[in-house]
Amino acid sequence: MSIAESLNPDLEGGVLDAGTVPSGGEVASAYTGAAWRLTMRSFFDNRLGLVGLVLLVLLLLFSFIGPFVYHSDTLVANYSINLPPGPGHPLGTDGNGRDILGRLMLGGQASLIIGIASAIVTTIIGTLWGAIAGFFGGAVDTVMMRIVDVLLAIPTIFILLYLQTIYHPTVTLLIATISSVSWLTAARLVRGETLTLRAREFVRAVKVMGGSRWRIVYRHIIPNTVGVVVVQATFTVANAILILATLGFLGFGLEPPAADWGSMLSGGVNYIYDGYWWLIYPAGLLIVLTVLAFNFIGDALRDALEVRLQRR
Amino acid sequence: MKQITRKRAIALIGTTAAAAMLLAACGSSTSSSSSTTRVTGGTATFAEGPGASPNYIFPLTPPSNFSVDNLAQFQILMYRPLYFFGVGNAAGINYADSIANPPVFSNGNKTVTITLKHYVWSDGEQVTSRDVIFWMNLLKANKTAWAAYVPGAFPDNVVSYSAPNATTVVFQLNQSYNPTWFTYNELSQITPLPIAWDRTSLSQPAPSPTAANLPDTTPSGAVAVYKFLNAQATSLSTYATSPIWAVVDGPWKLSSFTTEGKAVFVPNKSYTGPNKPSLSQFVELPFTADSAEFNVLRSGGGAISFGYIPVSDLSQKSTIESLGYNVTPWIDFGFNYWVVNFNNPAVGPIFKQTYVRQALQHLVDQPAWISTFLKGYAVPSYSPVPLAPANPFADSSSRNNLFPYSVSAAKSLLASHGWKLVNGVMTCESPGTGPTQCGAGIASGATMTFNLQYLSGVTATQQEMAAYQSAAAQAGIKINLSSGTFNQVITNAAPCTPTQASCKWEMENWGGGWEYSPDNYPTGGEIFATGAGSNFGSWNDPTTNTLIQQTHTATNAQASLNAYQDYMARALPVVFQPAANYQISAISKKLRGVTQNAYLNLTPEQWYFVK
């Protein structure tokens, strides 16, 4: 039996053409579809996960489809300021006379785009960084992880406020800013996972069959950290939305007249003693619901992707 | 000086007694009349404006620090000017609280003689004419660094100055000047400095006032001394411990100071002037936003003795009153505007076009801003001459809106000068200097896109700027808004030349415009004369210079002031916006003796608590 056969018993003595065998000797797994289905089944069995998914879908519809259904001028300021909910303005107007419901939709777009984009950037950088550091080890690992340690030692809020002060806040800048502080956690997680993976038999087998180190990293290490990465990514989305809300609340959110929920919340706090609840509760509620949705999804994905927690 | 939106006060000339009475009538009286027992001691706390904390202690202030918070509410507590302005709540010179007696003009108003009263520095030395000469020497050698410098005016118009004896200073002027203007706008600037400061390093011993050949007596030495003192003044953390700043002649000395702006004062036991402090401590508290201050005020407990209610929270007035505060507006003599940078290499040529400035002014809806955002606690600004408090200076040009709110008028002005809407933004399609072309220095394809930084932490200012942005967008002018603290904004809004890296700012709005103090007569030289230290936007116009100069020397002062304001109301060297009251004060009912000085000067030495 060839090594390939020993690693893939389903081949049942089949002989692979040497010209088609990749350098690492891998063949496509026959279990991919089944594993995916098992994961999905496990995810959908998780009620909180489903709640999170439904919430997320509703929030996406509210933010991106809502403006097509509910038309309002969300950018032009006027003198109808702080109107309570009523005809024409179901959730009232803000301190600049703009329709709150419309701006919540606008703010939802910004929050979700920035949150998801930050999670993608964070995941890519963090995964690559952690996998490389963990697999190569030695001096490479020491240098790369010390960089992470140093960056982690700098107060996140300081970095965020510094960057937002120096540059004019835009969606792109916010994504870059939030990603710059979020990838560190992902890198540490993936590096830890890689340290356990690199000692596993299948990795040693690839080495024996002449697979290059880079091939091991991108073909075997990274795919096997997908569980950790996906879960971390969902939490990163939630965290990014919270960071955006924090920046907005502190006055470092998107420049007006663009909207983000944190800035809306901050604007409402100015009138907290006036009882203008419509300036505070809707934005606050949407922040909570969005973060909750991603956390529920993240929890459910972790349960689904973690073999030990799966129901078989 | 620059002030924040909380705001404002007054300026009056001696010959206009009636106006002084008018202004006095408009002043705010704050103390309750109920009988109570006066107590000695106690700590009074004063709320600083949002993001506007003191950050410059040396009373020869550069433009970036020339603010009410530094001059009228910080430096003056420790270092008394030659003349103190404000009699209670009324305008005018308070000779009783001044270091000097009234100036005597002679020789056809070309010679000014000043005599000093008996004041003593906290190091035991007497305040003498030499201390005035010291200030003059530093000013003469470093005039361009001074915020109030106006080329041709003080100190250029002083041919010589001397101290014939310890209590007399004599100024020889280069021509005859209006005594009122010279007193209210020139002598008002002088603050005697202790000779203990006449050195170039901390390691040097404090010199004796009688020592000869002190550094300030030569131009190079005066430059070195100024450089040293300016450097010391930028080291905020050393304010309370520096042996330099410890030498004071005012009623207060600094006990502690944080770089965030919390200043704790204790009485200067050596103070020889009138109104010796009754309080044992006076504290100024910094706040990043008006809402933050209001939260503390509303929480009760007396953490703030003298604070303010943000306009956006005026509905809470009765609540604040029930917490033991008297609520009353503090009105100052100033006007409000934001500056445009005429020297910005990219958009400066656009701002230099009169029709552009007229279009920008047409987009400011002052009546609506006042009624909606400022709840009526403001007056419009249509020229550099203020409308409030009631005064005899403003003429019809200053009282009528020559450029009322009109988006269509703004669009029409631009369209008639070669601009066309492209993708929603006015774009120059007809470059050139013809009457229907964009104007000199404006290239084809240039767009009406401007960056405007405004004061953060003040709801009304944010609302005004958002309204302006929306109105401008309708006219095809794209305004990119950003916000910054008061100190950030006034630092950015510095006069500059096109090649300087710091000249990239385009529009800056620190929220409070200009309060006429120490230039108490509203002739505007400090802010609009070419090369003036506080001409932040670098407005450069020969007609303006001529008109300003005429207000300094004309025998008919009001006629020349009218000519000046009529011209400026049309020239629009800045974008005028409503002038809000300095603040809606909330003053503890247990704190008495408080006057809301028309020039915004703080006088806690007159405050006291009652049981």
Torsion sign, CA atoms A77, A83, A89, A94: positive
- Site from B407, B482, B487, B488 to mutate, A interface, most A CB atoms within 10 angstroms: B482
Q: pLDDT band for position B35 (50/70/90)?
A: low
Question: Is B226 strand, coil or helix?
Answer: helix
B172-182: burial string, b at 16+ Cβ within 10 Å, e else: ebeeebbbbbb
- Which of A256, A269, A271 minimises the CB distance to B481? A256
Beta carbons of A76 and B291 less than 8 Å apart: no
Q: State how far the Cα of B304 lies from the Cα of B48, in Å rounded to an integer.
A: 10
Question: For the domain bounded by A39-69+91-309, which CATH number is listed?
Answer: 1.10.3720.10
Q: What are phi and psi of B573, to 5 degrees?
A: -70, -15
Residues in a beta bridge with B112: B105, B171
B288 in A contact zone (CB under 8 Å): no
Give how far B198 is from chain A: nearest CA, Å.
39
A75 interaction partners in chain B (CB closer than 8 Å): 470, 473
- Rounded mean pLDDT, B514-518: 90
Lowest-confidence region among A255-269, B417-431, B508-522? A255-269
Q: Return the residue of A nearest to B482 by Cα.
A: A255
Beta carbons of B467 and A271 less than 8 Å apart: no
Note which residues in 213-242 of chain A have CB less than 8 A from chain B. Answer: none
Which pair of structure tokens corresponds to residue B137? 């020497």
User: How much is the mean pLDDT over chain A?
Assistant: 84
A155 in B contact zone (CB under 8 Å): no
- Site from A270, A271, A279 to mutate, B interface, most B CB atoms within 10 angstroms: A270
Amino acid at residue number B481: L
B298 in A contact zone (CB under 8 Å): yes
Instruction: Enumerate domains of chain B plus CATH numbers.
Output: 334-580 (3.10.105.10)
Residue A14, C-beta contacts closer than 8 angstroms, at least 6 positions apart: A5
B462 in A contact zone (CB under 8 Å): yes
Question: Is B200 strand, coil or helix?
Answer: coil
pLDDT digits (tens, 9 = 90+) for B248-271: 999 999 999 999 999 999 999 999
Q: pLDDT band for position B21 (50/70/90)?
A: very low
Give how far B334 is from chain A: nearest CA, Å.
26
- Site from A73, A80, A94, A96 to mutate, B interface, most B CB atoms within 10 angstroms: A96
CA dihedral B34, B36, B41, B45 (to 10 degrees): -30
Question: Is B414 strand, coil or helix?
Answer: helix
Q: pLDDT band for position A226 (50/70/90)?
A: confident
Percent of chain A at pLDDT exceeding 90: 40
Of residues A252 and B131, the one with the higher pLDDT is B131
Amino acid at residue number B350: I
pLDDT value at residue B10: 29
pLDDT value at residue A247: 86
Q: What is the DSSP letter of B28?
A: P
Answer whether residue A245 shows pLDDT above 90: no
B312 in A contact zone (CB under 8 Å): yes
Which pair of structure tokens corresponds to residue A55? 């919430």
Q: Return the residue of A nearest to B371 by Cα.
A: A79
Kindly report the pTM of this predicted structure. Answer: 0.79
pLDDT digits (tens, 9 = 90+) for A103-122: 999 999 999 999 999 999 99
Of residues B369 and B22, the one with the higher pLDDT is B369
Judged on CB neighbours under 10 Å (0-12, 13-18, 19+), B306 is: buried
Contact B336, B578 (CB under 8 A): yes
CB atoms within 10 A of CB A10: 10
Q: Is B228 left (phi over 0), alpha (psi -120 to 50) or beta?
A: alpha
Give how far A114 is from chain B: nearest CA, Å.
20
Q: Return the residue of B nearest to A256 by Cα.
A: B481
Q: State how far the Cα of B384 lies from the Cα of A278, in Å rounded to an integer.
A: 40
- Site from B298, B322, B463, B480 to mutate, A interface, most A CB atoms within 10 angstroms: B463
A256 interaction partners in chain B (CB closer than 8 Å): 462, 465-466, 469, 481
Q: State how far the Cα of B44 lies from the Cα of B119, in Å rounded to an integer.
A: 26
Taking the mean position of all CA atoms in its chain, how far away is CA A207? 33
Give how far A299 is from chain B: nearest CA, Å.
38
B292 in A contact zone (CB under 8 Å): no
pLDDT value at residue A2: 41
Contact B118, B126 (CB under 8 A): yes
Answer whether residue B236 shows pLDDT above 70: yes
- Rounded mean pLDDT, B498-521: 93
Give how far A282 is from chain B: nearest CA, Å.
20
Query: In the block, which residue shows the tokens 């040293």?
Result: B228
Contact B370, B463 (CB under 8 A): no
pLDDT digits (tens, 9 = 90+) for B385-413: 999 887 888 899 999 999 999 999 999 99
Contact B599, B87 (CB under 8 A): no
- Which of A81, A255, A274 minimises the CB distance to B481? A255
A251 interaction partners in chain B (CB closer than 8 Å): 456-457, 483
Beta carbons of B315 and A273 less than 8 Å apart: yes
Which pair of structure tokens corresponds to residue B226? 């100024």
CA atoms within 13 A on the CB side of A113: 16
A73 in B contact zone (CB under 8 Å): no
What angle is formed at CA B392 by the lines to CA B387 and CA B398, rounded to 5 degrees? Answer: 40
- CA nearest B465: which of B505, B502, B511, B433? B511
- Which of A79, A95, A274 minimises the CB distance to B315? A274
Domain ranges of chain A: 1-30, 39-69+91-309
pLDDT digits (tens, 9 = 90+) for A25-82: 665 554 466 777 877 888 888 899 999 999 999 999 999 999 999 998 888 888 999 9
pLDDT digits (tens, 9 = 90+) for B572-611: 999 999 999 999 999 999 999 999 998 899 999 999 999 8
Alpha helices (H) along B7-75: 17-26, 68-70
Residues in a beta bridge with B425: B422
**Long-range contact pairs involving B106-111 (C-beta distance under 8 Å, separation at least 24):** B108/B176, B109/B173, B109/B176, B109/B177, B109/B178, B109/B179, B109/B182, B110/B172, B110/B173, B110/B174, B110/B175, B110/B176, B110/B177, B111/B170, B111/B171, B111/B172, B111/B173
pLDDT value at residue B3: 60
Answer whether residue B27 shows pLDDT above 60: no
pLDDT digits (tens, 9 = 90+) for A182-223: 999 999 999 998 888 888 888 888 888 888 888 888 788 887
Beta carbons of A273 and B482 less than 8 Å apart: no
pLDDT value at residue B240: 96
pLDDT digits (tens, 9 = 90+) for B134-176: 999 999 999 999 999 989 999 999 999 999 999 999 999 999 9
The DSSP secondary structure of A178-241, one letter per residue, reads HHHHHHHHHHHHHHHHHHHHTTSHHHHHHHHTT--HHHIIIIIIHHHTHHHHHHHHHHHHHHHH
A271 interaction partners in chain B (CB closer than 8 Å): 312-313
- Rounded mean pLDDT, A16-28: 56
Answer whether residue B20 shows pLDDT above 60: no
B313 interaction partners in chain A (CB closer than 8 Å): 270-271, 273-274
Q: What are phi and psi of B329, to 5 degrees?
A: -75, 150
Query: In the block, which residue shows the tokens 């305040």?
Result: B127
Give how far B399 is from chain A: nearest CA, Å.
24
- Site from A273, A276, A280 to mutate, B interface, most B CB atoms within 10 angstroms: A273
Beta carbons of B462 and A95 less than 8 Å apart: yes
The DSSP secondary structure of A26-44, one letter per residue, reads ----TTHHHHHHHHHHHHH
Beta carbons of B470 and A76 less than 8 Å apart: yes
